Structures are given as C-alpha cells and as structure tokens.
Amino acid sequence: MTDTARAQDLAAVRTEQGKRRSISLGSAFAEFIRHPSPWLLFGLTLGGVIARVVHGDWQLSDALLPVAMVALFPVYEWLIHVFILHWKPRRIGRLKVDSILARDHRRHHADPRNIPLIFIPTRAMYSIVPATVAISIFAFPRLGLGLTYLVVISAAGLIYEWVHFLVHSDYRPVTRLYRAVWNNHRLHHYKNEHYWFTVTSSGTADRLFGTHPDPASVPKSQTARNLHALSDVGA
C-alpha cells in the first residue's frame, strides 16, 4: 500500500465528532467496569472456575477443548457479527424478526462513540447467561467438560467486551498487535461495514471468509453509519 493510500485510510477511520483526546489504559479500565456486561461476564467466569474446581474429573479433553475454542473463536466472532449483529429486519407475515442485539448494533453503528452502546445489551445478557449455563450443563457428554466450556466461553466474552470497548475509547494504540486490531475494527465502522468483521483479532477469520481486502481497494460506504439504509436505526 502506498503512503497516500495509507493516509487516506487513516483519515477514513477518524471519527466525525472532532479530535480524539488520549486517555490512559487505567482510565479506560475505570470506565469499562462502570458498565453491567463486564461484571455479568466476570461473575459467570468466576462461578464457572469455582464450579469446575469443585467438580474435578479432569481429563485430557479439558486441555484440548480450550485450545480448540481459542483457535475457532475468530470464526465464531465473525459468524455472530455477520449473521446476528448485522441481521436485516424481516417480516414473516405480521411478525417482525429483529433481535435486541441487531437493533442495538444498528444504534452502535449510528453512534460509535456512544459508550453504553459499545457493550452487549444488558437485556440480552439476561438471556445469554442462562442459555450459556444450560449449554454447559446439557450439551456435553460429561459435566466437567461442560464446565470447562463455560469458563472458556465466558472469559472469551469478557475479553471481547474489553477489546471492543478499548477500540472505541480514547485510548490510543501503543503495541503493533493492538494497532492492527484497532485499525481493523475502525475500518469496519468508518470505511465499509461489509468488511473487517473480527474484533479481537485482525486478518484471521476475515481472511478465511474473504472480508479482509486491501483497504485502498474498497470504496467508502454510505451506509456504515446507517446499516441497511434504514431511516430509523432502531427499526
């Protein structure tokens, strides 16, 4: 990529709400823990750890499952982002099919700097948490393995919330790895919402599914702030 193209991409991912101020990582964390979903996910992770240790019954599969889950998490993240968060409202007869997650994600795209909209909606968490616990208990051949799954998936969710919040905060990238993640997600919001769907990584599942193009080759979308060109982002 040429220096001119890179400069254009950096300009494309800047917010339209004025110059960003820089905050420390500590200040970002202090804001992060003021919101409900990190605490719900932390509680789920802690409860899962306690239950897993008390239950015992450690087997080789308890070591292999986390490795597989970490390797597949970018794919899982991509699928959720594309098919749930970017769901276009549909009507089946008189029934309108549109989830809380999709509605709030449209609001998030419309106003990426609105901090509460960065997080998983609390209303959705009240369904996600019991559903995750139920999957952990009933979907695995033994309870110990299900509890291992519970710990890993809830910890992954907590990491997702932290990275997503940090990218949208005023904390500026320092490391090369975080800068790649930061640039990837901001291209999704400020250049073209049809690409760059991973959040906690850069160039992983997007490369696999063909949504990680050279930014210089992608036109700036007119609907990145208005998903599906809906007149009402809450529709």
Residue 44: pLDDT over 80: yes
Which tens digit of pLDDT belongs to each residue from 111-122? 999 999 999 999
**How is the chain split into domains, by residue range?**
25-173
pLDDT score recorded for residue 12: 47
pLDDT at 6 over 50: no
Over residues 152-195, the pLDDT tens digits come to 999 999 999 999 999 999 999 999 999 999 999 999 999 999 99
Buried b (16+ CB within 10 A) or exposed e, 98-136: beebbbbbbbbbbebbeeebbbbbeebbeebbeebbeeb
What torsion do the CA atoms of 40, 42, 43, 47 make, to the nearest 10 degrees? 140
Confidence of residue 20 (pLDDT cuts 50, 70, 90): low
Q: Full-prediction pTM beyond 0.95?
A: no
Beta bridge partners of 91: 96
